[in-house]
Chains A and B, each alone.
Chain A
Amino acid sequence: MGLLDSLAADFPPTSNPTLGAWRDRAFDAARERGLPTPREEDWKYTDLNAAAARAYKPAAAIAGADSPLSALRAYRLVFVNGHFDAANSDLASMPAGISVRLLGELARTDPERAIAALNAFAKPDAKFFATLNTATARDGAYIDIADDCVLDLPLLLIFSTQSANEPRWSAPHVRINAGARSRVAVIELHHGATTVPSFVNALTEASTASGAVFAHYRVTLESPAATHIGLLRLNVGRDSAVTSYSLALSGALVRIDIDCSLTAPGGSVALNGVFIAGSNQHVDHHTKTDHRASHTTSSETYKGIADGNGRGVFNGKIIVQPGTQKIEATQASNNLLLSADAEIDTKPELEIYADDLRCAHGATVGQLDDETLFYLQTRGVPADVGRALLTFGFVQELVAEIPIPELTALVAQQLAADHPALARLLTGDHR
């Protein structure tokens, strides 16, 4: 029994027939569309066959355990195995200007509003995993940020997967509406603490209103056997500035789609990402930046590392729609291949239907620079330390701009796990 059959067999029971029927329809739509295969251009380099051959079971929540970022000062919302974990969350003490509703709660108390909330995710051309998420989501958060709300601390959403024995399926989703002129940072941490090959199908949609400054940090820190499919949709409003970081640090098969629409003049977006594909890891990012309005700008930098027999994939598409003017878009995909068995596939794309613009992209794939390594060696730095340092420097260049040191540290920790030499070096704060 594979993925879809096991989900159909274990479909979330619901007391409300209307909601049940809605989910059935969504599930049937996903089934009819069928699991993506490498024959589709968007899945050319990523094969879900092995992951989809397993049977997964949704889980009841179990008590929250420690997760990374436990020391970070933030407003927390914690989900375990797709269920809201009230005990470890700050739901009751959210700051003024932040309102949170939960899908699980709505489904019990107000099914009509639950359906309305689910419908909001539906798009005529929705991707398979977006549809599957809305069909199978047990819980999720709908967050409204009031106009002019400025948060002192980030909102931290933790999605943790725990299982002692069975492969778990979880499909959490989040919708965020950032009000006009609001300034908020959201951290979305996906964390696995299990050796069981679980499957996470996460969906987040964020829209910003006029003048909002919104930062989204997506951290994928799944357990070594996990499959993680993450979708992030960003709608950038007028004069709004959005920053997105995707830090994909672990997981067996990680696929993250970031679809960003710039829908009103003055909007800007920075899409940044770091991925580390170590041994037995496959990390695939697909980003799409759609310039639908004039006077919009985008910049994108992705840094990928493939080591061991790991494989990293990057596909970044910039679209400039007909009739738009004064567009600026840049994109860079830089990749390090650290071992003979690693692979990088990168495809930076431009699709341009207007002329008053400046667009550029670049991609590089290579190994650490010999000359630079020699320079370090002449200073007495041993070759292995030098390599670790340069690997760290490669991502640090981008990560150093994140204003939340705890996130920067997560990246460093992950690299240090692979490079013991780095671990020693990074102890003590020399920043």
Chain B
Amino acid sequence: MLKIENLHAEIDGKPILRGINLTVRPGEVHAIMGPNGSGKSTLAYLIAGRPGYTVTQGSIHYRDKDLLALAPEERAGEGVFLAFQYPIEIPGVNNVYMLKAAVNGIRKYRGLDEVGAVEFLNLVKTKTKEIGLTDNLLNRPVNQGFSGGEKKRNEIFQMSVLEPSLGILDETDSGLDIDALKVVADGVNRLRSPERAFVVVTHYQRLLDYIVPDYVHVLAQGQIVKSGTRELALELEARGYDWVTADAA
């Protein structure tokens, strides 16, 4: 469903990605690992469509659509969701307003009617319980005054409401204690299905104990230098990154 071919990208003339190839099929979970500055977050941002990057070569196709030609919200309409590494605080805009705007934006993109107020609130209530988000957080401005763990939980909550077909988690595990990590993993695992895929970007293999990946890729200096299965992640944990990244240089 996601096909990335020979992707080169730069920011302010500085190359970040230097020929990424990645294919993700429905039902799969891919983990992207790698040292800091290897381009992991850039890859996640490029799939979601963050402005500021220039793609110099290559393509990203999602369900045979040219993703790079679409606006971020159109990508969301296609079913792509990015859980941010640093979720943005939006003073004055409460979570529910934002979610309603999101749900209706996506429905409209898909040619569906907007959801009614009651129906929407019921949906939100159900999901709130699943994730264990308190009503208090739900009615606060988006991420404002949230702890690190609350922010990440809020990302997973939004994902479960929007039910994307491709979820990208950008270092969602960073800064989380083990309980919060479990909540995040539970949220993802609950959504796992034969139709849905995930790309999990992480620095540590710890998260992969809870979200078990089908494939693990190591990104270094803007290229995937090694791919493997779950065992690769364990090996990386034991041996560090140097032995794989040395090849890239």
Contacts and interface: CB of A to CB of B under 8 A. Distances in A.
B93 A379 contact: no
B81 A393 contact: no
B149 interface: no
A396 interface: yes
A395 B114 CA distance: 26
A431 B139 contact: yes
Contacts of A376: 73, 90, 98, 101-102
B126 to A, nearest CB: 16
Interface string B94-129: 101111111111101100001001001100000000
Contacts of A397: 91-92, 141
Interface in A184-209: none
Contact of B76 (A370, A378, A389, A390): A378
A378 B92 contact: no
Contact of B102 (A380, A394, A429): A380
A378 B82 contact: yes
Contacts of A379: 73, 76, 81, 98-99, 102, 105, 158, 162
Given A371-B88, A378-B49, A379-B158, A386 B139 contact: no
A411 B139 CA distance: 20
Interface string B61-100: 0000000000111011100111010011011111011111
Nearest to B91: A397
B104 to A, nearest CB: 8
Interface in A127-153: none
A393 B162 CA distance: 22
B92 A381 contact: no
A49 interface: no
Contacts of A425: 97, 100-101, 104
Interface string B45-69: 0001111000000000000000000
Given A380-B162, A381-B105, A392-B92, A374 B72 contact: yes
B141 A393 contact: yes
Contacts, number: 110
Given A389-B93, A395-B92, A400-B92, A378 B98 contact: no
B136 to A, nearest CB: 13
Interface residues of B, number: 42
B121 to A, nearest CB: 7
Contacts of A396: 92-93, 141
Contacts of A382: 73, 105, 108
B230 to A, nearest CB: 28
A379 B97 CA distance: 12
Size band of the interface chain A makes with B: 20 to 34
A385 interface: yes
A379 B82 CA distance: 8
A383 B71 contact: yes
A15 interface: no
B46 to A, nearest CB: 12
B96 A430 contact: yes
A386 B87 CA distance: 16
B88 A380 contact: no
B90 to A, nearest CB: 6
A137 B72 CA distance: 57
A377 interface: yes
Q: Name the residue among A370, A378, A425, A430 with the largest chain B CB count within 10 angstroms.
A: A378
A13 interface: no
A375 B102 contact: no
B197 to A, nearest CB: 17
Interface of A: 370-372, 374-383, 385-386, 389-390, 392-398, 400, 424-431
15 contacts: A374-B51, A375-B87, A378-B80, A378-B82, A380-B103, A381-B102, A382-B108, A385-B101, A393-B90, A395-B92, A397-B91, A398-B92, A400-B92, A424-B114, A430-B121
Given A378-B76, A396-B92, 19 more contacts: A371-B88, A372-B88, A374-B51, A375-B84, A377-B73, A378-B48, A378-B72, A378-B75, A378-B81, A379-B99, A379-B105, A379-B158, A381-B105, A383-B73, A386-B101, A392-B97, A393-B91, A393-B93, A396-B141
Task: Report, nearest first, the 5 A-B pairs whose CB atoms are least far apart.
Answer: A393-B92, A428-B117, A380-B76, A393-B93, A377-B72
